[in-house]
Amino acid sequence: MPRDYSSSLNPSQLEAVYATEGPVLVIAGAGSGKTRTIVYRLAHLVEEGVDPSSILLLTFTRKASQEMLQRASDLLGEGRGLGRVQGGTFHAFAYGMLRRYTPPGWPERLTVIDRSDAESLIREAKGELGFGKGDRSFPKASTILDNVSKSRNKEQQLRDIVSNESFHLLPYVDEIETMSVEYEKKKKQCGMLDYDDLLFALETLLRSDEALLSNIRDRFKHVMVDEYQDTNLVQARLVELIAGKHGNVMAVGDDAQSIYSFRGANVQNILSFPQVFPGTKTIRLERNYRSTQPILSFTNQILAQSSILYEKKLWTEDSGGAVPQIVRPLSDLSQARLVAGKVVELMKEHSPGEVAVLFRAGYQSYHLEVELNKLGIRFAKFGGLKYTEAAHIKDVLSFVRILRNPSDTPSWHRVLAPIKGVGPKTSQKLVTSLLSGDRDFVDSWRKKRPDLDALLGFLDELRSREMSPGTLLERIVEFYTPQLEERYPDDYPRREAGLEELLQIAAGYSELDLFLADLSLENPEPRGSEREDVVTLSTIHSSKGLEWNAVCIIDLIEDRFPSRHAMNRVEEFEEERRLLYVACTRARQYLALFVPKAVYRRGKEITEPATASPFVREIAGEFYEEWQENYTGGLSMAKGAPEYRRPPSALTPPSGAPSAGSRSSSSSPKPAPAPAPDPSKMGFCNHKVFGRGKIVAVIPPDKYRVNFPGFGLKVILAQYLELENT
């Protein structure tokens, strides 16, 4: 007889555990005990007499499925294990099926190739087609494969993927498309499947064999899918195929934590689940077991402004705790010092391993890394290389190190590496000759290699002039930039952002030796249990699934969070909102968001006002404390309404868009349709964040360019504007 779990689970969790018939959608808010719910449901099914072999558990990592099955087995006790449950990743399940059944159009004996094998096929195709000969800027096989994989997972044209996500590779898009076609041919000829093929081949198999599909449905009476918000289109179709329209299928996930669209994840899968599976029972897990109520109230406000998510309000019985802080540094240059100071303060109350600093992109932590190194605070960085480990940063700093120490042999080899015709042996001879004063050998090579002549002439010029570290680095980066595009053609736009941060760091120094010393201070990478004793620096994407007592989030300003690219597309803008929600819900006891008032503009040599992130501007003042940096470098609590917020009346949803309170709890959310701009309406409009503005241009098919007093020109989707009658 099934046990009573009411003492172990809250009412919503119990409802999900006992809902075993028909389609069920569990919207599991952050920290709401999602895994615990799945574990107890597995145990309950077996206790009800369900054959474990008729249960299919699909997850995104093997570790997740193994943990769930082990915990459920422990709950059931000895002799009632779940060893016969089919549990694992989508890809592992697909591989198991394809080993037994051959999809149409494929040889009977199939081989699954790994990433390195796939790249080898791409290189083979490149050689046979004669592409990229003598062109050092031609994209690497790994980059081509990345774009091909994105095209498959997003089910978009390869040309569109390159155009939208790797625009710097557009000159090679024809060759990339041709190589993709050749890559597919080679796999078919050799009976090979890559990682992405597994899912599509299984779909083809199931759609082509009705008897097999019927057998699969008969076998798996209960299908459970974890992290449903992370599924891509083909994974969602496979769930529909295996479970059937009215099968016993439970999807568990949180639409508000769908942040992996760059991998192909499609939030519409979870949003449209009730339409795909008629009669779906939707259950919300809203009780949070991680964070304090002030933090949850703050994060609820982030989601309240979105009209395309399932309505949910996280709550906890822990009503105490510190109110989240919004900290306003005077500029992005002083932000790192304030954050480092806050980390020192937090480490008095929490162990280093319980303190984290999160950011949108890896390069945004570079200033902070320097500050932490100065203070001797050890840290581990996740999601992006540590500042001094990035190849392009090492390249540029090699120029500086040679100027300070002409005997720095490794730096010489690094700056000589890009010169054509100068290999390791010649480089060694050149360095030896340069340091010993053998001008004849050096001059002979300067005549043969104009690039070498230019390099040595450039170094002589720098050595002959007195410059501040900031000016010196500007000259070096200007000289180095053509090399950047040639040496790292696949991702040089991303690396350019890192160089910009280096220039800003250098601008804060008056002594070159001190600049180099601060960058060179050792912070050895912690290993194993040592990570419990270090502060965590992490991109938000890498932080998902983790939690800390104290969390600081930096760079909450427009163009950085949300990113500039995301400001023009509603889907990407809303994913950035979800990204901030994920970041905030990592915090258990303390949460701070840093919003610089200004950013330093290199080249202009000025500091310009920064616009606070729209996600911050939308949050009502009663949900946080605002602290401002004063001109003596300290922090003081701000008085009165935050300067960047509009009156509450300006924060109401635009006309025609559903408000947070109007969303139905029984139906799937639907985004408001975007009306096409009317060229005749060039008057005034209202925006829920920026207030009243003047329309200055129409941008087909669905945008306006609007001038907002105090905020300047903005390109806004029509659905977010309320047009005034003209």
Residue 30, marked binder: yes
Q: What is the 8-class DSSP label of residue 537?
A: E
**Which of 599, 486, 613 is closest to 558 using CA atoms?**
613
Helix (H, G, I), strand (E, B) or coil at 512: helix
Residue 676, marked binder: no
Residue 120 burial (CB count, 10 A): 13
**AA identity, residue 384:** G
Residue 498, marked binder: no
**Which of 616, 502, 606 is closest to 555 using CA atoms?**
616
Residue 134, marked binder: no
The structure tokens listed for 618 are: 């939308």
Residue 33, marked binder: yes
What are the φ and ψ backbone dihedral angles of 180, each rounded to 5 degrees? -65, -45
The structure tokens listed for 498 are: 């890192």
**What stretch of H or E contains 372?**
helix 366-375
Say if CB 714 and CB 705 are below 8 A apart: yes
> What does the chain come to in residues?
726
Q: Specify the pairing of strand 721-723 against strand 684-687.
A: antiparallel
- For 371, half-sphere exposure in the C-beta direction (CA atoms, 13 angstrom radius) is 20
Residue 636, marked binder: no
Helix (H, G, I), strand (E, B) or coil at 673: coil
**AA identity, residue 531:** R
Residue 88, marked binder: no
**Which of 314, 311, 310 is closest to 290 using CA atoms?**
314
Say if CB 119 and CB 143 are below 8 A apart: no
Say if CB 619 and CB 301 are below 8 A apart: yes
Give residues with Cβ within 8 angstroms of 695, minimum separation 6: 681, 682, 683, 684, 685, 704, 705, 706, 723
Residue 35, marked binder: yes
* Annotated binding-site residue numbers for ATP: 28-35
* Annotated binding-site residue numbers: 28-35
